[in-house]
A and B are shown apart, each in its own frame.
Chain A
Amino acid sequence: MNAVDATEHYETSARDPAPALLTVVLDTNPHAWALLEDSLPLSKAIANILVFLNAHLACNYANEVAVVASHSQKAAWLYPHENPATKISHDADGDVSMNGSSTNNNTTEGPGQVNKYRPFRIVEEQVTHNLRELMASTSGPDVKANNSTMMAGALTLALSHINRRSIAWAEAHGADTAAETSGGGPPSGGHASGTDTTEGLQSRILIVSVSGASDSAHQYIPIMNSIFACQRLHIPIDVCKLSGDAVFLQQASDATKGIYMSLTEPRGLLQYLMMAFLPDQRSRRHLVLPTRVDVDFRAACFCHRRVVDIGFVCSICLSIFCEPLDNGTCLTCGTNLEIGDYGAKPAVVARKRKKKKRVNGPSGTATPTPTPTPGP
């Protein structure tokens, strides 16, 4: 009767692989893009990214995308984001310098030719339209004010969207939604072991970044919070770095088991995207991924912003200092701290004190005096 043994027949029928949700966080910092203008202008980069999004949608009928722009002073949705006021007023060219397209296609409704697969077209139109609006609404003084980018906001918006889509997908497919929200963990129930779950939406985040790290130093805590949330939800963060250098992005992809690539040739953006960033989590198990082993995890001290190897940590507020403070007061929380000796003296075994015997002779080995014989 082994053929009928139930323990091996557990195979739910028609369990097709779950779809994937790709969220792209696009860094639209005007300063940084201006510097890249010679090798890769923004319009060309957007065109490449749109082809990449279409490729992702092509892989599976139920795949989804979302695009968030991380601008200099705000984070805004590019897709899905229907602006009801401006839905109809399209001009002829809804897209941006695609390779060799003719401009008479891509109108919305109305008679005309539809030469593009409709879901692709919708994504492209919304992204370009919203991006154009975003750029138009940025004024000169805003750009002058700060040259950083709102990476934390964009990541948080992306995570909220992923959360929303995961809940919606789970509800539609009859999974247990109550278990998700209570623990905030992946919807696989009890043991979140290393095995991948094929149930549940597989989401990942791709950050296309051009800015450096020093600009976003004051966003350190919110970015770390987002990274930990991704780690908990098993969402890999892939980073495609076109220029600039950001240590926390390296830490992000390392902590979440994502891919980090710093492009040496920005013009080849599309090929990099297709080859390295397109495979989804299931396929990544079979492929050799580009890894980066020299991630710098060292911390920067709060007083001088120097990178430290050994630091002194306040046990109350966990701020890091490079040297013991003079008056023992923590700079951030103001509590009085005790300062230990930190191994200033080496640890040695205590010397055994020799017992000095009181004997008549001057030296150590005294001849034992015989006990006096009792007198008569």
Chain B
Amino acid sequence: MPPDRTIVATGGRGKHDKMISKPCSKISRHLLATLGGITLAAFAIPAQAFSVNIANGAEPGTLDPQKTSGTWETRITRALFEGLVTYAKDGSLVPGLADRWEVGDDGKTYTFHLRDAEWSDGEPITAEDAVFALRRVLDPAIANQNANLYYPIVNARAINAGDKSADALGVEAVDSHTLRIRLSQPTAWFLQALAMTEAAPLPEHVIAKAAGWVQPGNTVSSGAFTLSEWQPQSRIVVEKNPHFHAADSVEVDKATFYPIDDAGSALNRFRTGEMDIAYSSVPSSRFAWARENLGDALRVGPLTAEYFYMFNLHDGQPLADKRVREALNLAVRRDVITDQILGQGQTPSFWYVPRNTANAPQGELDFADMPMDERMARAKALIQKAGYGPDHPLRLRLNYNTLEDHKKIAVAVAAMWKPLGVEVELINSEAAVHYATIREGNFEVARYGMVATINDPFDFLNAYADNGSASRSSGYHDAEYDALVAASTAELDPQKRRQLMTRAQQRLLDDYALLPLYDYVSVHLVSPDIQGWESNPMDVHPLRYLQESEQ
């Protein structure tokens, strides 16, 4: 790290901020100046500027789009970096820096034609920038967490494993405005992967210069906004980028992201009007209250994410017995969890891939329509057959990570299993421990939330396929399932692909390999003064589409 890097290079305080900020005490000024190196320069915003304040879950770990790990980061990076393809306000894919593209007949060659666009410093955005970005995302030293989404590209996997040099990647700049990508096999969801900010072209001319290149003053952007201020744990400000290719259509002049990880605090600040948008700020404990008091501001939408309990199927585990898995599945009243405990509109799920995912497979657990008393009778019989009874009760450990809602659900599920004579030990641990426990297979039943990175069933199905994360943790292995998933990935016809995926999912469900609970919903708060914010399954809400309501 260069020693002279300041935290905020071109600090800006808008007029609005200036009015309410009073001089802080001398001591803090002094300390801020000496220790923080924070400079605050006055910055004028045109009258009638449309600025948006956003309560944004947490402090970003980074704004390097290839090092991010969560939505609280991509919400910002998406405003700064435009992909070759990008998201519309409903979450569908639309042309971004590439205004058109062709896919070869074999489904293995993609040719993108870049539009005339500029970085925010006026440099042209070229196909070389796109090549640079794709090579970089697969560079082992960058250690990108979603790199596997780009493994379909020729040689990508070997490069990411450090076995080949970056030049071997099947990506080339045909000319300054034409990019060709070669895949090693047809991949149905590849365009989705390119819409991620990870794959957006990057400014090589800037990254080569500075290690801390995503800092105000150092960075340039290709998206609708530029980064103008970053005070860690305090706020991040982005301002409209006049060089953006669709700058004319962007109405937001300035947006400020506040890292507020306490949901109650975000809700409070939304209620006072300080925040215009508050992401994930309504815990289930306050949801009923919010629905009554916040009216239209409360936005509940679908989300391609699944809440389920992972079973440990390894040999010797109590859940290696399919009868036990079926019984546990039967006894859980999913509607009680979604309606009584959460009450936010989640869909009780009898499947694994969330229903609102694009191209989602069909089919469900075989007992989905069975009345509850019948289910309980069958469950009790199964548990008995598996050899458990009053003298020899089934003892299970149920792991969940620290969060009020996970606790409530675990408590309820434990109570639902009680009539079967199952004695549950609840184990709450912080996320790092929880997921390590799962990774090491050191669990019996574990809460899991799987969120799609792309709007496709791939993430879900692949997890249980050979060498997928869920397969490794849970010990689920089924050659036919693996074959179906592999076939579905390479199948380009949507109808046929869906059938393959449906068959794959059904194998998983008929094996009761996991215990699905519900399809997630997204719950956000959006001021009625803002338009152009749409709920969508990818939960992407690009700033560039927001508009001020006319009132």
A is bound by B: no
Residues of A whose CB lies within 8 Å of any CB of B are: none
Residues of B whose CB lies within 8 Å of any CB of A are: none
